[in-house]
Amino acid sequence: MPVLLFLPLAAVLLLSALGVVLNRHPVRSAMCLVATLFLLAVFFIFLDAEFVAALQIIVYAGAIMVVFLFVIMLLNLEHDDSERRRISWQATAIGSAGLFALGLLYIVKKTGTLMPGPGMDATPAADFGSLQVVALRLFTAYLLPFEITGLLMLAAVVGAVVLAKKKIA
């Protein structure tokens, strides 16, 4: 991916990711998250993973985030200005950031670098990330996890219907 494209796109991606956390308004936060997910899909395209990019947009940006927005609007959430919860939020944020930094330190200590190791800069196969390749792997090597995930989702859907309906006729 050319640096000239990478840098501005990465900058916008980081800005929108920050926007998710820093915006006080839930709808604006949600829209920033949509932008973040969309830009991530763009990066997937540059990494030759077009199918993953399509899924990223269809599933996350196009379906899950719409439901998020839908709920935010239905509940009509307003600005969250409560001060008392801020301290615990800060503690959580600092804690998770610290854990992440520790993890990075461990990697640097073990490998001596943050750059990709040998073999990671190899050019992928011509059909890498294409729909056919992903589908073949999914339905041969990873068939069992795939089916189990399907079953889990079905259980979740049935559960949601049971919870949402007061009386099932």
Partner 1 sequence: MDSTLVIDIAISAVLALAVTLNALQLAGLLGWVERKASALIQDRIGANRAAIFGFAGAGLVNTLMADPLKFLTKEDVIPRGADRLLHTIAPCLAVFPALVTFAVIPFGDVLVIAGKEINLQVAPLNIGILYVLAMVSLGVYGVVLGGWASNNRWSLLGGIRGSAQMISYELAMGLALVAMIMTYGTVDLQAMCRAQGGTILGFIPNWGIFHQPLAFIIFMIAGIAESKRVPFDLPESESELVCGYFTEYSGTKHLMFFMTDFIEVVIVASLATVLFFGGWQVPFLERDGFHFGETIIALPQILVAVLGILSYTVKSMFFCWLQIMTRWTLPRFRYDQLMRLGWIGLLPLGFLNAIVTAAVILAFGSH
Residues that bind partner 1 (CB under 8 A): 25, 27-28, 31, 34, 38, 50-51, 53-55, 57-58, 61-63, 66-67, 69-70, 73-74, 130-131
Query: Smallest distance, Å, CB 104 to partner 1?
Result: 33
Is the Cβ of residue 46 or residue 50 nearer to partner 1 in the bound state? 50
Query: Smallest distance, Å, CB 136 to partner 1?
Result: 14
Q: Which two tokens stand for residue 68?
A: 């998020």
| CA 107, chain centre distance (Å) | 23
> Do the beta carbons of residue 56 and residue 37 sit within 8 Å?
yes
Is the Cβ of residue 70 or residue 142 nearer to partner 1 in the bound state? 70
Treating both helix axes as pointing N-terminal to C-terminal, what angle do 131-140 and 143-164 enclose, rounded to 10 degrees?
90
Query: Smallest distance, Å, CB 121 to partner 1?
Result: 23
> Do the beta carbons of residue 63 and residue 142 sit within 8 Å?
no
Is the Cβ of residue 102 or residue 129 nearer to partner 1 in the bound state? 129
Tokens 């985030």 found at: 65
